[in-house]
Structure 1
Amino acid sequence: MTNHEVDQDNTQQQNHPNRNFCYGTILLILDIIIINLKFWFYTFEHIYLSFYQKEEKDVRGEIVLITGTAHGIGRDTALEYASKGATIVCWDINERGNNETVKEIKAMGGKAFSYVCNVSKREDIVQVAEKVKKEVGFVSILVNNAGIMPCHPLLDHNENEIRLMYDINVLAHFWMIQEFLPEMIKQKRGHIIALSSCAGLIGLKNLVPYCGTKFAVRGVMNSFYEELRRMDLHKQIKLTTIYPYMVDTGLCKKPHFRFKSMKLVKPQEVAKTIVSAQRRGIMELSIPQHYLYLEKFINIFPRKACEVVSDFLDTGVESDL
């Protein structure tokens, strides 16, 4: 190789990093443009869909498993799904109340099964889940509804009460998902609904542990969706998180609110909203619907500004002790 050829080769090597830098910069600029286009497209799409009612999916013949069906939201959700032609699997620790729900479904011509299960115990969930798979079939819609709501100051809660609240309100979601998600993945379809609460959007006095559980449910469902998305399963396995305001089920014993318009929500209304949201494929929904958007809007402001709004609305629960 001549000295001239060596000089040319060295020059090319010196220019090579510059070409790489220019190429990388062009790719980065293109990525930024594409991200901006996608960002605003999905933003305006969401705004449009907020006003446009999507067609509700038919649930006839689907097997729907609901926890906490002995009373309240769980019972009314079971009745609502049954009225749409779904087969209902009712889970509750309260055998008598659970059987009454099943009896009511059958009286209206529906199909339902009753199983006693203590969802605070993982071993119970595993055993009963196996029975359901063998005796009923593939659960395509799972509604994690069961929950408890003691209402008193943090220092008045004992260890067992707090642990039980987390076992039922949060940990049960993990065990239920682990039992029924694998078959959903295998079947390439499924829908999982989680009951959070408006207490999972804002903190309230006398509900510190309860708010903690409902904030946790929100975090679980958000991160669970991201995991499904990264696995490219989010189009097959759908998720819905529901945030009801205080519901008239007996759990909220001493509610208070400044404005009469902020009255307790009827469980029948919540049930209809849950079923409709699932059938339309909505990921997050509060009851009333504007509360979720209000929470997102308020949180862009300083903490003290939010406290002014909270004091003005003056809503919450008194201690049940």
Structure 2
Amino acid sequence: MALEAARRAAAVEAAAARAEAVDVLVNNAGVVTGTPLLETTEEGIRRTFEVNALAGYWTTRALLPGMLERGRGAVVTVASAAGLVGVARQTDYSASKHAAVGFAESLRAELRRADAPVTSLVVCPFYISTGMFAGVRTKVPALLPILEPEAVAAQVVDAVEAGRERLVLPPAVQLIAPLRALPVPAFDRVMDVLGVNRTMDGFTGRR
């Protein structure tokens, strides 16, 4: 497995070397198993982390040097609202997206400390209707609607152009941070009232 991972990283570096100047890198690849922990295979868990978390390291390491040399650029990490709160039937996906959030924030800190002319934007959307999460449902669509990919893409472009560092969609997802101040049982109860841990009950994914 380590050899295969090394080959993938090398393939990314080779592709980056052939590419012309890249000023905006969007780490958007994602997979999900949608199964409870005890039904998730080791292969599935490893694949989730390879795609959702590690791939961003290889693409960024390959393309960031060119951005720094040119004195401009943006690294966009598309994480998830599940990167801000754990969700039932997403032990692999949510954990990998927490890793993506941490990656983007740590990268932002490194770039800021170096006074680098490159931004690190992390995007944390609720479910997007791309087919990857086919079958998911939202209990309160007025607060937590299933998002349209075109609308999300437009907001990401606007955020990059504005030099923003964080984009959370829809705005209600931003309530997770202050709600963390509650005792854990109370926080869990709020998530249950919002139906967060039932969203995956009808999950089918792409077929």
Structure 1 residue 131 displacement after superposition = 1.5
1:300 maps to 181
Corresponding residue of 1:279: 161
Provide the residue aligned with 2:34 in structure 1.
151
Q: 1:1-321 residue pairs with structure 2 within 5 A?
A: 121-132=8-19, 137-233=20-116, 236-261=117-142, 262-292=144-174, 294-315=175-196, 316-318=199-201, 320=204
Shift of 1:320: 3.8
Match of 1:107 in 2: none
- Larger mean CA deviation between 299-308 and 205-214 belongs to 299-308
- The SS at the match of 2:34 is coil
Q: Is the 8 A contact 1:200 1:211 kept in 2?
A: yes
Give me the whole-angstrom Cα distance separating, in 2, the residues matched to 1:121 and 1:287: 31
Tell me the amino acid that sits aligned with residue 43 of structure 2.
Answer: N
Unaligned 5+ segments in structure 2 are none
Q: What letter matches 2:161 in structure 1?
A: R
Shift of 1:126: 1.5
Between the aligned partners of 2:51 and 2:192, the Cα distance in structure 1 is 31
Q: What is the CA-CA distance between 1:155 and the residue it aligns to?
A: 1.0
Task: Report the secondary structure of 1:142's partner residue.
Answer: strand
**Quick one: which amino acid aligns to residue 12 of structure 2?**
I
Relative contact order: is structure 1 or structure 2 higher (C-alpha 8 Å, sep ≥ 6)? 2
C-alpha separation in 1, matches of 2:62 and 2:112: 20
Q: Distance in 1 between matches of 2:104 and 2:156?
A: 15
Matched letter for residue 269 of structure 1: A
Runs of 5+ consecutive residues of structure 1 not aligned to the other structure: 1-117
Percent identical:
28
Partners of 1:230 and 1:278 lie apart in 2 by 20
- TM-score after normalising by structure 1: 0.58
Q: Is the 8 A contact 1:193 1:242 kept in 2?
A: yes
Secondary structure at 1:285's aligned position in 2? strand
Structure 1 CA distance, aligned partners of 2:147 and 2:155? 11
Letter in 2 for 1:278: V
User: CA offsets, 1:83-113, max 9 Å, x none?
Assistant: xxxxxxxxxxxxxxxxxxxxxxxxxxxxxxx
List structure 1 segments (4+ residues) > 4 angstroms apart after TM superposition: none
The aligned amino acid for 1:253 is A
- In the TM superposition, residue 170 of structure 1 has moved relative to its aligned partner by 0.6
Deviation at 1:198? Answer: 0.4
User: SS where residue 31 of structure 2 aligns?
Assistant: coil
Deviation sequence 1:211-256 (CA, Å, 0-9, x none)? 00100011011111111222222xx011111011011011112212
CA distance in 2, matches of 1:289, 1:237: 26
Give the deviation of 1:257 after TM superposition: 2.4
Greater Rg over alpha carbons, structure = 1
The AA in structure 2 aligned to 1:304 is: P
Q: d(CA) in 2 for partners of 1:230 and 1:149?
A: 34
The AA in structure 1 aligned to 2:15 is V
Letter in 2 for 1:128: A
Deviates more, 1:171-180 or 1:260-269: 260-269
Deviation at 1:289, TM superposition (A): 2.5
